[in-house]
Structure 1
Amino acid sequence: MSDGYQIENPANAYFLTFQVIDWVDIFSRKIYRDILLESLDFCRKEKGLKIWAYAMMTNHVHSILSAKNENLPDLIRDFKRFTATKIIRTIQDGPESRKDWMLKRFEFAARRNDRNSHHQFWTHENHAEEIITSKFLNQKMNYIHQNPVRAGWVEKPQDWLYSSARNYMGLKGLIDIDISDH
């Protein structure tokens, strides 16, 4: 079911939230965060994804993204499909202590809709909000970068490694981003 927030103008940047099914806190483990980072970096270098901002939380990712070739919906679909497949395979093949519980959650979610066959990792909604003004861009970037602070994980946004706040503060981020000058 759609959440009403769709990508209407694929030429523009969007504030997006990718949420794990049932808010499973999979990204509390570095191995799964690294899969996301590697995929974001690949999409930026090889597929034309522009990463303006991001922050990874334990069960969701906030981002501001756009696409060089106006194919943002396709890039998001491919990113989510690839990361879901790789993360589920990593869970199945690895020593994950929550393996049975997580796989059952993902299997149950897949049975609730026709778009998945075995497992559903991500929700189908992305809560896409088009960035149409500098004020809105700055508001969403602040929201993204303050998220780990609000969660109590760090005191300053740039201290959270899995966030673009580091890049904006002139520090080395875990991946390169497309710095906004707004």
Structure 2
Amino acid sequence: MSRNYKFRGQESPYFISFATVHWIDVFVRSEYKDILVESINYCVENKGLVIYGWVIMTSHIHLIIGTKQEPMQNIVRDLKKYTSKAIVQAIRENPRESRREWMLWMFERAGKKNGNNMNFQFWQQNNKPIELSDTKMIDQKLNYLHNNPVEEGIVIESHHYKYSSAIDYADGKGLIDVLLV
């Protein structure tokens, strides 16, 4: 197991982030974000993943997660593996994708530099897991991830961003089943 997938325990929630290689802005198209949302929902329903907070930005994702079943590092590994293949395939098949050749070239080039990959690399390998041992830490990370789209100028108010749990915390129903803290 890589040093980048270290979760010290499974009892506490963790804040994790992962980004596309070279911070490529893949998630400017909703069809790619939707693949990620569907995969997270699959992990919630079938692997025991617990989501406390999440946001998808143009080149990266932030999650606050826990588990009721499988170890978090296994869930994250499977999530990244599946989404990397599915999103690259969606890019290949998207007739409207003007950046297709360039993005595929960049993913292939990154994959050739990493012996752990067969053909391409979509995600950077680190997750930077941070154990959240108390509610103050959880609140701080929730505020951080919910304000990401505001800081980037995507929306004026965090709960207006469709690809975030800020909707759930503002009394709405978002795209992913969130356990509110």
Q: Deviations over 1:105-137 (max 9, x none)?
A: 101111111111101000110011001111111
SS of residue paired to 1:26: coil
Q: Is the 8 A contact 1:11 1:70 kept in 2?
A: no
Q: Deviations over 1:24-55 (max 9, x none)?
A: 10000000000000011111011100000001
Corresponding residue for 2:10? 10
Q: Deviations over 1:125-164 (max 9, x none)?
A: 0011001111111100000001001111111110111000
Cα offset, 1:176, TM superposition: 1.6
In 2, the alpha carbon distance for the partners of 1:141 and 1:10 equals: 19
Using the TM superposition, name which of 145-154 and 63-72 deviates more.
63-72
Matched, 1:20 2:20: yes
Corresponding residue for 1:131? 132
Cα offset, 1:6, TM superposition: 3.1
Corresponding residue for 2:169? 168
Please tell me the residue identity of whatever aligns with 1:12. Answer: S
Q: Is the 8 A contact 2:6 2:73 kept in 1?
A: no
Corresponding residue for 1:75? 75
Task: Quickly say closer, same or farther: Cα 1:4–1:174, change in 2 above 3 A.
Answer: closer
SS of residue paired to 1:27: coil
| Aligned pairs, number | 179
Cα offset, 1:9, TM superposition: 1.4
Q: Is the 8 A contact 2:48 2:70 kept in 1?
A: no
SS of residue paired to 1:154: coil
SS of residue paired to 1:12: coil
Instruction: Compute the TM-score of the two structures, normalised by the length of structure 1.
Output: 0.94
Task: Quickly say closer, same or farther: Cα 1:91–1:12, change in 2 above 3 A.
Answer: same
- Structure 1 residue runs of 4+, over 4 Å off? 2-5
Matched, 1:178 2:179: yes
In 2, the alpha carbon distance for the partners of 1:104 and 1:10 equals: 37
Cα offset, 1:92, TM superposition: 1.3
In 1, the alpha carbon distance for the partners of 2:160 and 2:180 equals: 18
- RMSD, aligned α-carbons: 1.4
Corresponding residue for 1:117? 118
Task: Quickly say closer, same or farther: Cα 1:4–1:125, change in 2 above 3 A.
Answer: closer
Instruction: Compute the TM-score of the two structures, normalised by the length of structure 2.
Output: 0.95
Please tell me the residue identity of whatever aligns with 2:120. Answer: H
What is the percent sequence identity of the aligned residues? 40
Corresponding residue for 2:56? 56
In the alignment, structure 1 segments of 5+ residues that lack a partner are none
In 1, the alpha carbon distance for the partners of 2:76 and 2:11 equals: 14
Cα offset, 1:11, TM superposition: 2.8
In the alignment, structure 2 segments of 5+ residues that lack a partner are none
Corresponding residue for 1:43? 43
